[in-house]
Amino acid sequence: MNLKIDEIRKFKVGETIKYYGELIVMRDAAQRRLRELIAGSKELPIYLGGKIVFYAGPAKPPKNSKIGAIGPTTSERMDEFLEMLYYLGVIATIGKGKRSDLAVELCKKYQRVYFIAPSGAAAYLSKCVINAEVIAFFELGPEAIYRIEVRDFPLMVAIDSLGNQIF
């Protein structure tokens, strides 16, 4: 169920799904690095076109596990990077909590959505991860950029492409 932009635009606020497919995991440190690379006209280490970004910082994986506990991070502090992500082709973001008025306007402008994942359920969410790999900024540890593949990952539309929100 890797979602396409046309499908993203159809979601309505409050709608829930069980997502399966690829997610790109990153937080503010990695986004700051991306912004610096763009400002310096340098090549980015990843392609974000058509991707969904999950704001999270996974814990170190226990033995024989693909990933450690992985729960959503508060999203509002990521809002300064949101237009950059949309410009780079990101079709949705996932996190927890309310977003700023700017984020709501950007969802509307770019016709993107913001999903929330269950907060306080990081151990459960890690069981939905079937593959994980660090793909950029290894030195950032849990704030590196990861590519994960998930199955039955619970999401709710918190802001839809029309700017409607649950908050």
pTM over 0.75: yes
pLDDT tens for 108-155 read 999 999 999 999 899 999 999 999 999 999 999 889 999 999 999 999
In whole angstroms, give the CA distance from residue 53 to residue 78. 11
> In terms of residues, how long is the chain?
167
Question: CB of 20 within 8 A of CB of 1?
Answer: yes
